[in-house]
Copies of this chain bind each other. A is one copy, B any other.
Amino acid sequence: MPKLNMVQAINLGLAQEMARDDSVIVMGEDVGVDGGVFRVTDQLIEKFGAERVLDTPLAESAILGSAIGMALAGLRPVAEMQFSGFSYLMLAQWEGHASRYRARTLGQFTVPLVVRMPFGGGVRALEHHSESREAYYAHTPGSKVLIPSGPRNARALIVAAIRDPDPVVFMEPKHSYRAFREEVPEAEEVGKIGKAQLVQEGNDLTVISWGAMMRPTRKAVAAVTEQRGAGIEVIDLLTIAPMDAGAVVASVTKTGRCVVVQEAPRSFSVASEIIALLNDEALLYLEAPVKRLTGYDVVTPYFGREKSYIPTVGRIVRGIEETLDF
């Protein structure tokens, strides 16, 4: 099995789906000749031609809006927003059309499409290139929101997203793009949308995270486990919406303690929703407040300061310990 980084893994998934189904079209700014500014779509134009790998003009609303038209007419577009920070330009098309077409027509017209977008910080990038706003999309009914955390699940989930009958926001944690490699089988693997992954079992505390935060989370969990011998359960959410409530609730019902690690600002966020869910279904099992280790409710600082604003291994370790000791 080849060892791939996340960029290569998503590229593999895209290439395989394009080979399998000629209704799959890749489109966006610089996705063709340039292969994408992160090279996620590298070589696709050579393999599948400029009719299936569209270098579009610079207009995010048009990229999604025309992708919606393609999907209505039977194609399966995979559109890229060059950075999630520019995706708000297409939110009206997302909220108003992509997420609604099925409901509006009681299933007669559907828009199976994927919007891929790199998101998150930690790569010393310019303004607007470091935010995490998955909550916008997750709060929009009719949207599916996926966030892979590693090469293998990224490949499996991009395939699932492309085959899914619904519009999917596929948010790629750019900090993880080249951070590590995993074995990714050539053979087809199709992720399950709506399912979280139980990364590690434990009885004392549940840590829930997703995307780029999975790495510091795992390191922190390893450290705490080593230091204290605590049994920590780790959940990788993978699907943000519709969330795998069952997995979250089952775990915390068992452990009674929970820490959520997220890069996005704290308030009105995915972490908030996880807590609300636990309140609904597991309150009586909670032995400590659920801890939110998150970004702060400040305007994302330029990269000179960003590091301190993203949860670190040390902060996660302390958060877990405090929750264990509560």
For A87-116 the 0/1 string (1 means CB < 8 A from B) is: 011011011100110111000000000000
Are B298 and A138 in contact, with the CB atoms below 8 A?
A: no
**Does A180 belong to the interface (CB within 8 Å)?**
no
Distance from A110 Cβ to chain B, minimum over Cβ atoms (Å): 13
- In the complex the two chains form, what is the Cα distance from A85 to B269 in whole Å? 21
**Does A219 belong to the interface (CB within 8 Å)?**
no
Are B265 and A138 in contact, with the CB atoms below 8 A?
A: no
Known: A85-B96, A242-B297. A276 touches B265 (CB 8 A): no
Chain A interface size, under 10 / 10 to 19 / 20 to 34 / 35 or more: 35 or more
For this chain, the copies found in one complex come to 2
- In the complex the two chains form, what is the Cα distance from A292 to B127 in whole Å? 36
**Does A275 belong to the interface (CB within 8 Å)?**
yes
Are A267 and B136 in contact, with the CB atoms below 8 A?
A: no
Q: Note all chain B residues with C-beta closer than 8 A to A275.
A: 272, 275-276, 279
Are A279 and B268 in contact, with the CB atoms below 8 A?
A: no
Are B99 and A299 in contact, with the CB atoms below 8 A?
A: yes
- In the complex the two chains form, what is the Cα distance from A226 to B128 in whole Å? 53
Q: Which of A21-29, A151-159, A282-290 faces chain B?
A: A282-290
Are A96 and B103 in contact, with the CB atoms below 8 A?
A: no
Cross-interface CB contact of A89 among B92, B280, B292, cutoff 8 Å: B92
Are B272 and A280 in contact, with the CB atoms below 8 A?
A: no
Distance from A128 Cβ to chain B, minimum over Cβ atoms (Å): 6
For A52-63 the 0/1 string (1 means CB < 8 A from B) is: 000000000000
**Does A271 belong to the interface (CB within 8 Å)?**
yes
Are B88 and A96 in contact, with the CB atoms below 8 A?
A: yes
Are B300 and A141 in contact, with the CB atoms below 8 A?
A: yes
**Does A273 belong to the interface (CB within 8 Å)?**
yes
User: What would 9 A/B residue contacts be, using CB atoms closer than 8 Å?
Assistant: A88-B95, A99-B299, A103-B299, A103-B301, A138-B267, A141-B299, A142-B298, A268-B270, A283-B289
- 17 extra A-B contacts, CB within 8 A, seeds A103-B301, A279-B290: A96-B128, A99-B299, A100-B127, A100-B299, A104-B299, A135-B268, A138-B268, A142-B299, A268-B269, A268-B273, A272-B272, A272-B276, A275-B275, A276-B290, A279-B289, A280-B292, A283-B286
Give chain A's interface residues, CB within 8 Å of chain B. 85-86, 88-89, 91-92, 94-96, 99-100, 102-104, 127-128, 133, 135-136, 138-139, 141-142, 241-243, 265, 267-273, 275-276, 278-280, 283, 286, 288-290, 292, 297-301
5 closest cross-chain pairs (CB), A and B: A103-B299, A272-B276, A139-B268, A88-B92, A275-B276
